Amino acid sequence: MNQNEIFMEYVKGRDLSGIPRFWRRNLKILAYILKEVAEAIDFMHKDDILHGDLKPDDILISKEGDVKMTDFDAAVKIKRLGSAYPEGRELGCLCEITYSTTEYAPDFTSKYVAQELIKSQSVVVNFMKNILINQKKDTPGWIALKRKELNFNVKAFPTKESDVFSFAATVVGLFKTRNEASYDKGLDSNLAKIINEALDPSPNKRPAIKKVLKCLESLPCCTTDEFKKLAAEVQELEMSPYTKKESKKH
């Protein structure tokens, strides 16, 4: 067979957007999860790999209590970025050539994308900051904003700074329900401060993920055994079986 096959792990559990409501209100549980995610990003950044499109749906929590990061469709290696080398230049090892604009297309999620990757008229940054830091409500205008209404800049490649922004926006997203209502924001003041910094419109003013991780490590959180027990008790969401709809006869 002349084709490539990719085998992916099936993770029994839930993604971060579907965790139990009481988890969102328990800062010890959240601190544990966020620390695990920040450690994963820090590990990637040390190897100069960028996720590129981090959001709650990309963070899975298994029944065994493992926190896993997924969806690397937008991930890039920094040394292959076209901004650093001429397009298509070989980098000295097999298959390691710079990305071309036809090979890599940006794939961002509107509510979690850093401002520098989209045109300035986007309202992402101010609204994301207002939800958590300034404790303001979402406006109908932002809730109704559709992906096609966001105009992306020519700059296609993510950065470490844009990964940090997406992580911070993911934290903000944990304090909202699916219908955009906000939970009580009794967040640790130090964490709130660093999340505020991570949402800064200027990439060079955002902290490195290592600094964010250091803040998370200083927070009280549940133990690994406690979290594994909690994860084991969460009921797995059942998938509805597909039923083919019959066409209506006129």
Count: domains in the chain: 1
List all residues 6 or more positions away from 104 whose beta carbon is below 8 Å from its beta carbon.
Answer: 76, 156, 157
The verdict on residue 235 lying in a domain is: no
Question: Among candidates 78, 104, 103, which has minimal Cα distance to 161?
Answer: 78
Identify any residues that bridge with 168 across adjacent strands, giving them in sequence order. none
Identify any residues that bridge with 154 across adjacent strands, giving them in sequence order. none
**Residue 129: which domain range?**
13-229
The verdict on residue 225 lying in a domain is: yes
Range 121-151 burial, b when 16+ CB lie within 10 A, else e: ebebbebbbbbbbeeeeeeeebeebeeeebe
Predicted pLDDT of residue 211? 96
Structure tokens belonging to residue 153: 């800049």
Say how far apart CA 32 and CA 148 lie, in whole Å: 35
Predicted pLDDT of residue 157? 76
Residue spans of the chain under pLDDT 70? 1-7, 74, 78-108, 118-156, 176-186, 235-250
pLDDT tens per residue across span 92-129: 444 555 555 555 666 667 778 887 776 544 444 455 55
The verdict on residue 245 lying in a domain is: no
Predicted pLDDT of residue 164? 94
Predicted pLDDT of residue 139? 52
> What is the CATH number for 184?
1.10.510.10
Predicted pLDDT of residue 14? 82
Say how far apart CA 141 and CA 151 lie, in whole Å: 16
Predicted pLDDT of residue 115? 75
Residue 164 CA, distance from chain mean position: 9
The verdict on residue 124 lying in a domain is: yes
Predicted pLDDT of residue 154? 44
Phi and psi dihedrals of 247, rounded to 5? -70, 140
Say how far apart CA 72 and CA 55 lie, in whole Å: 11
Predicted pLDDT of residue 228? 92
pTM above 0.85, yes or no: no
33 three-class SS: helix
